[in-house]
Amino acid sequence: MKRNLNQKLIDLIEYYNLANINLLLSEDSLKRGADDTTAMLSGTKLQKLQKLKNKIHNIKNCELKKSATNLVFGDGNINAKIMIIGEGPGAQEDAAGIPFVGRAGKLLDKMLNAIQLDRSKVYISNVVNYRPPENRRPTEIEIKRYLPYLKNHIEIINPKILVLLGSTALNTLIGNEIVISKARGKWIQKEIGKIKPWIIASFHPAFLMRQPEQKKLAWIDLKMIRDKSKILKI
C-alpha cells in the first residue's frame, strides 16, 4: 500500500512537471495522512487549474500577451489555505514564468519566513498573468479582461485567507474607491464566486523597497495573518 502511494505521488509530481504548473510540495505535505493525500491525488483541482491556464494561454488580441515572453500563472501549494495576489509579472517573472522571483519576490519570501511560512504553505498569483510593458501598471481594460480568470483562479484554490499585495490587487477585488494606506491591516469577508475568504490588504514588496519606512506597518499586517491563521487552524 505504501509503495503504491509513493508511486502515485511520483506520478503526480511528474504530471505537474508536464503540465508546467509550479507546485512546491514540502516534506510535511508528502507525509500527510491518507485522506489528505487521496484528496490531493484526485486531480480535480489540478485539472481545473490546467483548464484555466489553457484558457488564459488562448486569449486572443491581448496586448500584454503580445509583448510578454511567458504566461505567469501561479506558484506554491495548490492545497494551501493562504493565497497571495500581486499586481503582475516583472521582467524576471516574465523570463522564468513564475510569480515573485525577482527582488520583490525575495523580499516576499523573507516576509513569509518571518511568520513561519514559505511557498510550500501558500499559493501565489497576480491580477494579470502577462508582464505589462516596462513594468507599468495594468490598464483598467486589461484588469477587467483578466478579472474573470482571477476570480476563477481564487475559487479553484479556495483559500481561507486571501492576501492582496498593493493597490492594484486591492482595487481589482475590493473596489477602486479604496486607498491601500487606509485599507491595509483590516480584515473583511467577501464572496468571490462560491467562496467567501477572509481578505486582508498590505503593501506590495516592490513598494516596500521604495519606501522601507513602511515595513513596520507591513509587519503588523504579517502578524495579523499569522494570528488569523492560528484562529482558523490552518
> What percent of the chain shows pLDDT beyond 90?
78
pLDDT band for 21, please (50, 70, 90 cuts). very low
- The CA distance from 35 to 104, in Å, is 36
Residues 101-142 have pLDDT tens digits of 999 999 999 999 999 999 999 999 999 999 999 999 999 999
**Mean pLDDT score across all residues of the chain:** 87
pLDDT band for 57, please (50, 70, 90 cuts). very high
The pLDDT value recorded for residue 176 is 81
- The CA distance from 70 to 63, in Å, is 13
pTM (2 decimals)? 0.82
> What percent of the chain shows pLDDT beyond 70?
82
Q: How far apart are the first and last CA of the chain?
A: 28
Domains in the chain, start-ordered, CATH in brackets? 43-232 (3.40.470.10)
Calculate mean pLDDT across residues 24-44.
42
Question: CB neighbours (10 Å) of residue 44?
Answer: 11
Cell 495522512 sits on residue: 33
Residues 136-194 have pLDDT tens digits of 999 999 999 999 999 999 999 999 999 999 999 999 999 888 899 999 999 999 999 99
Q: Are strands 22-23 and 188-189 parallel, antiparallel or unpaired?
A: unpaired
The pLDDT value recorded for residue 25 is 33
Specify the higher pLDDT residue, 37 or 57: 57
Is 33's pLDDT higher than 60? Answer: no
Is 35's pLDDT higher than 50? Answer: no
Grid coordinates representing 92 are 524576471
The pLDDT value recorded for residue 178 is 87
pLDDT band for 4, please (50, 70, 90 cuts). low
Question: CB neighbours (10 Å) of residue 49?
Answer: 22
Specify the higher pLDDT residue, 71 or 27: 71
Please spell the DSSP secondary structure of 89-145, one letter per residue: --HHHHHHTSSS-SHHHHHHHHHHHHTT--TTT-EEEESSSSPPGGGPPPPHHHHHH
The pLDDT value recorded for residue 56 is 97
Grid coordinates representing 189 are 469577508
Strand order in the sheet with 75-76: 22-23, 75-76, 123-126, 82-86, 161-165, 198-202, 188-189
Calculate mean pLDDT across residues 34-54.
71
Calculate mean pLDDT across residues 64-83.
96
